[in-house]
Amino acid sequence: MSFDPERVLSGESGIVEGPRRRTRARLRDAADSAAAIATLAPLRVQRAAARLPRRRVLVLGIYGDDGVGAMARAVKELGVLAHDVRFALGALGETDPALAPHTKLDRLAGSGKFENLNLLLAATPAEVDWTLVVDDDVALPRGFLGKFLACAEAFGLQLAQPAHRHTSHAAWSVTRRERWTLARRTQLVEIGPVTAFHSSIAPELLPFPPVRMGWGLDAHWGGLAQERGWRLGVVDATPIGHDLRRTAAGYDRAAAIAEIAEFLPGKPFIERDAALHVVERHHSLKPKSG
């Protein structure tokens, strides 16, 4: 039987457009934040972040001309003194002056995201505790890095992403913020817009396989996690915004589907129902379990 790429896609666009939908989404985000404050979750997570030992973090990202502002804000947010953070950015066009200190390569237009990330990895060899891939169209909450890492480590996550706010463009509903929850162990972590790889599994996933757009790569990660017992998860305590541009606007969907059909057959992967399944929910910080 031939492989059907649609088996590993979410089946929904996740684009949040229109005044009514945007208003409902903003109200849900406000209610989520109010619920978190009512349980003192932000304070507890902040304290956990303050106790977290200094971590070595490599931040990778590719930016286009229309993403310079968002990437610059992300760099400012991530460049905290509490951790040893180094950046390796690539520019699709010319290096932007605002990001010049962190831009390792430029004029990368014409290659795929993951091809370019592999070039950055090759140009920036480093022994780190976490590798963080950040797209140029994301808005990070204040104090993101310490809080995100504190939650990921508290729950033993090895491949993790922050949850999406309800106003975000997010293809997978399981990655949207869940109320009353600090983090969830899942079977899916997306290829973007923010993906974190712990050093315990990074050598098995980085550099990335030879894909351009990477659709279906997260399904493959989920399949590998099932085989090898890795812990994947979504951190709800640090929700991000991902609505600065229309998701996948620059992608050729037919080409992305063709890439899935070529890449996934013969490899472990999870299908849609498994990807949407939540394995565990964590409502309070506690030491990681096995």
How many CB atoms lie under 10 A from the CB of residue 257?
A: 17
* Domain extent listing, the chain: 5-282
This prediction's pTM: 0.95
Q: What pLDDT does 253 receive?
A: 84
Q: What pLDDT does 290 receive?
A: 46
The strand ranges marked E within the chain are: 56-63, 84-91, 103-105, 130-134, 159-164, 183-186, 194-198, 232-240, 278-282
CATH class of domain segment(s) 5-282: alpha beta
Q: What is the pLDDT of residues 142-180, one digit of tens each?
A: 999 999 999 999 999 999 999 999 999 999 999 999 999
Q: What pLDDT does 246 receive?
A: 67
Q: What is the mean pLDDT of the chain?
A: 94
**CA-to-CA separations, 79 to 59, 145, 247, in angstroms, rounded:** 10, 9, 26
Of the candidates 39, 29, 38, the one whose C-alpha atom is nearest the C-alpha of residue 282 is 39
Backbone conformation region of residue 92, classed left if phi is above 0, alpha if psi is from -120 to 50, else beta: alpha
Structure tokens at 136: 């140029």
How far apart CA 193 and CA 32 sit, in angstroms, is 21
What is residue 234's DSSP assignment? Answer: E
Q: What is the pLDDT of residues 186-219, one digit of tens each?
A: 999 999 999 999 999 999 999 999 999 999 999 9
Q: What pLDDT does 245 receive?
A: 75
Q: What pLDDT does 289 receive?
A: 47
CA angle (277 as vertex; 273, 278 as ends), nearest 5 = 175
